[in-house]
Structure 1
Amino acid sequence: MNDLLRIPCVLMRGGTSRGPFFLASDLPRDQAQRDAALLSIMGSGHPLQIDGIGGGNPVTSKVAIIGPSTIKGADVDYLFAQVRTDRQYVDYSPNCGNMLAAVGPFAIEAGLIEAKGRNTLVRIHNVNTGKLIEAKVPTSGRDVIYLGDSSIDGVPGLAAPIALTFVDAAGAKTGKLLPTGKPVDVIDGIEVTAIDCAIPMVLMRAADVGLTGYEDPQSLTDNRDLIARMTAIRIKAGERMGMGDVSDMVIPKPVLLSPARKGSTLSVRYFMPNECHPALATTGAVGVATAAVTEGTVAYDLAGRPSLPAEIGIEHPAGRLDVQLEMRNGAIAAGLVRTARRLFEGYAFAKPLAAIEDAA
């Protein structure tokens, strides 16, 4: 094993996502070397990621890099990396709110923050967006509590609840809630809302693209005409949002909206961007909920024109996710509950950069 890089690693589930967690100090400082290590560890460039620990799907090809905070008011830094499965590319443009649920537990167990009382508050600085998120992690003494009686749709079984609060998620990448300056734009004949809240998204009515919005994720992923159409729309939207050429980025995410069918506020199908999410991204839920209370967006009328404070229930393929919205210090704060679990700890092995370059 002398020719492989040996890197301490913890595999964790956060919300409906899963991936390895690393201390920033354990990874190469040079970004090119770090990316090469992550691509090798995950097995990127193969649809099954057979030569790595990735799961062959965007929700299981995610990486969290954690370190001491570099800003005031936060306890830890969290850098999220979306590792592509279809080709060797690491994308740092988005945040992942599901993986975020495991950041607090990992930070406590890594000794970056001390557990205090029954719920330990961990203030997380998301490096990708510069935003602050508060996580209340169930603890006992110095230990993280993972077992509990809470459930989230898309994950089997019960676990301890982790309350996340996005303190001010608007303008995560562009600095504006509505980066085009309008609640609705028309792109390729389709009314869309280009919104940047927790993560940039392009919201559109499912009916406007000839769908019910209740289709199962696999059939939507297999609908290549739909994917091509939404790709064209999101690339044009990215330009209007001031993000430049987004063809190689996973943001903005396309999202299809429909009226709720089971007593919630809205129904969604969230894309990553070329595959339909089996459930719903946490950041996506925050953005959709905020759009639902923003007058003039494509979500506002579908949601019944709610006003703050509000609980926005969002139906997704695996069930439902509820988001609590309120005003805090002049900005919308979004709260929701996720769960997490520590799955495995040990070492991940990566090919050195020279070996990867030789293979290429």
Structure 2
Amino acid sequence: MTGPEEVRCMLMRGGTSKGAYILADDLPKDTAARDELLLRIMGSPDPRQIDGLGGAHPLTSKVAVVSASEDPGADVDYLFLQVAVDRPEVTDRQNCGNILAGVGPFAVERGLVTPRDEETSVRIRMLNTGERAVATFPTPGGRVRYTGAAEISSVPGTAAPVTIAFPPGDSPLLPTGQVRDTVAGTPVTCVDNGMPTVLIAASALKVTGYEEPAELEADPVLAARLHEIRREAGRLMGLGETESSTVPKLSLLAPPSNGGAVTTRTFIPVRCHTAIGVLGAASVAAGLRIPGTVGEGIARLPGRGDRMRIEHPTGFLDIDTRVDPGSGGTPPTALHTAVVRTARKLFDGTVFPRPASGTPAPPDRGENPTTTASVRPSGGTHGSAPR
């Protein structure tokens, strides 16, 4: 298959992830052709992704496909695609709440949403699951502002805040219907507050939960246990066979060490996250607020208010979560979830995909032959790029 020789693209940092943001109209309509093109754009399969935009890690090999929404309750549609680094695989089986942080600003930059003065809210339909989010960010003078004083762990410096609110979804908060399940001989809690997640006490897997990600990744016994748990939990959660899927996520829980509610180590699914995903944190936080889950006796819940601090390997994530625990046979439900993230436009320009297998390379028109992207300066830290 062959795709367009060049594609309009904006590279953005969204939260603690980085990815290519592309309009749906700028990609092939056929799914297989689209995925083949994205593999070439990102430089996969290759452990270094040396011939593409990818950063050789799942957190930097992501794509947001954005379009105007036909749904009257949404302004834009957002399809998240995870591009595997060392395999020819593109999957839409999960959302990404970090990349979500850049969708609203990108929609304004591309003219899909008319900005308001001072502040703009963009209603987003997440096509991966059908769930909704509302992203609010500063737009003084009708232009996206990326600079600001908001600070998030794992990202150097500060930027403008992007507040993301998640209305309650229709999916059950406890997909198995149980507060606790035993999976592969291990007590777990399966929860889905935007991201299918399996909560596990770190001690149940004979680790502390404070190890560095690389140490956990290098433990073959732990890897085998996690693989078994993920497969069985996926079936219990109605996700089917998860051998080639990135969900469910697995979050190991340990008592907090820095004044938060809990310490986490999250697997995505094989690599250990250097932080924690937004939607994964939303699921962890909701799971901790339900009495009787595996987090009980591990987490130290805040005495009042909705805000909870989730600790992770490189810092923390603050998330507001309110849950109705249910009673008398009524299942627990999430009432409110919101988080503050930041996003920043890194470049806006044209990406030149690696030639398709068996296709001659396009003629050199003067671009630097050692790069795959032609970067057009955006004229500062904010504002719309020329169309």
Matched ranges for 1:50-69 at <5 A: 50-69=50-69
**Does 1:152 find its partner at 2:152?**
yes
Higher helix proportion (structure 1 or 2): 1
Q: Deviations over 1:206-228 (max 9, x none)?
A: 01101110111111122232122
**Does 1:297 find its partner at 2:300?**
no
User: What's the counterpart of residue 319 of structure 1?
Assistant: 315
Task: Confirm or deny: 8 A CA contact 1:291 1:300 kept in the other structure.
Answer: no
Task: Confirm or deny: 8 A CA contact 1:66 1:103 kept in the other structure.
Answer: yes
User: What's the counterpart of residue 164 of structure 1?
Assistant: 164
User: What's the counterpart of residue 345 of structure 1?
Assistant: 348
Q: Deviations over 1:98-154 (max 9, x none)?
A: 000000110001000011121101111100010110111111112101001111000
Q: Deviations over 1:208-255 (max 9, x none)?
A: 101110111111122232122101110111011111111100000111
Letter in 1 for 2:179: P
Q: Report deviation, 1:309.
A: 4.8
User: What's the counterpart of residue 229 of structure 1?
Assistant: 225
Q: Deviations over 1:313-354 (max 9, x none)?
A: 1111111111112369x8522111100000011112235667
SS at match of 2:104: helix
SS at match of 1:264: coil
User: What's the counterpart of residue 206 of structure 1?
Assistant: 202
Letter in 1 for 2:249: K
Q: Report deviation, 1:86.
A: 2.2
Matched ranges for 1:150-299 at <5 A: 150-169=150-169, 175-299=171-295
CA distance in 2 between partners of 1:293 and 1:221 (Å): 29
RMSD, aligned CA: 1.9
Letter in 2 for 1:233: I
User: What's the counterpart of residue 25 of structure 1?
Assistant: 25
SS at match of 2:231: helix
Task: Confirm or deny: 8 A CA contact 2:289 2:323 kept in the other structure.
Answer: no
Task: Confirm or deny: 8 A CA contact 1:309 1:327 kept in the other structure.
Answer: no
Task: Confirm or deny: 8 A CA contact 1:12 1:341 kept in the other structure.
Answer: yes
CA distance in 1 between partners of 2:193 and 2:322 (Å): 14
Task: Confirm or deny: 8 A CA contact 1:37 1:352 kept in the other structure.
Answer: no
User: What's the counterpart of residue 79 of structure 2?
Assistant: 79
SS at match of 1:219: helix
CA distance in 1 between partners of 2:264 and 2:236 (Å): 23
SS at match of 1:144: coil
Letter in 1 for 2:108: I
CA distance in 1 between partners of 2:179 and 2:350 (Å): 47
User: What's the counterpart of residue 131 of structure 2?
Assistant: 131
CA distance in 2 between partners of 1:300 and 1:73 (Å): 37
**Which segments of 5 or more consecutive residues in structure 2 lack a partner in the other structure?**
325-332, 360-387
% identical equivalent positions = 45
Q: Report deviation, 1:267.
A: 0.7
Letter in 2 for 1:336: V
SS at match of 1:28: coil
Task: Confirm or deny: 8 A CA contact 2:40 2:356 kept in the other structure.
Answer: no
CA distance in 1 between partners of 2:272 and 2:131 (Å): 26
CA distance in 2 between partners of 1:242 and 1:306 (Å): 32
CA distance in 2 between partners of 1:155 and 1:297 (Å): 31
Would you say how many aligned residue pairs link Structure 1 and Structure 2? 350
CA distance in 1 between partners of 2:180 and 2:303 (Å): 19
SS at match of 1:280: coil
Task: Confirm or deny: 8 A CA contact 2:52 2:354 kept in the other structure.
Answer: no
CA distance in 2 between partners of 1:181 and 1:352 (Å): 49
Q: Report deviation, 1:167.
A: 1.2
User: What's the counterpart of residue 377 of structure 2?
Assistant: none
CA distance in 1 between partners of 2:52 and 2:220 (Å): 28
SS at match of 2:121: strand
CA distance in 2 between partners of 1:131 and 1:308 (Å): 28
User: What's the counterpart of residue 109 of structure 1?
Assistant: 109
**Which segments of 5 or more consecutive residues in structure 1 lack a partner in the other structure?**
none
CA distance in 1 between partners of 2:21 and 2:300 (Å): 40
Q: TM (normalized to structure 2)? A: 0.86
Task: Confirm or deny: 8 A CA contact 1:154 1:279 kept in the other structure.
Answer: yes
Task: Confirm or deny: 8 A CA contact 1:121 1:135 kept in the other structure.
Answer: yes
CA distance in 2 between partners of 1:211 and 1:331 (Å): 30
Letter in 2 for 1:87: R
User: What's the counterpart of residue 337 of structure 2?
Assistant: 334
**Does 1:310 find its partner at 2:313?**
no
Task: Confirm or deny: 8 A CA contact 2:48 2:56 kept in the other structure.
Answer: yes
CA distance in 2 between partners of 1:72 and 1:91 (Å): 27
CA distance in 2 between partners of 1:115 and 1:224 (Å): 50
Kindly tell me: are residues 192 and 326 of structure 1, through their superposed partners in 2, closer, same or farther at Cα, counting changes over 3 Å?
Answer: closer
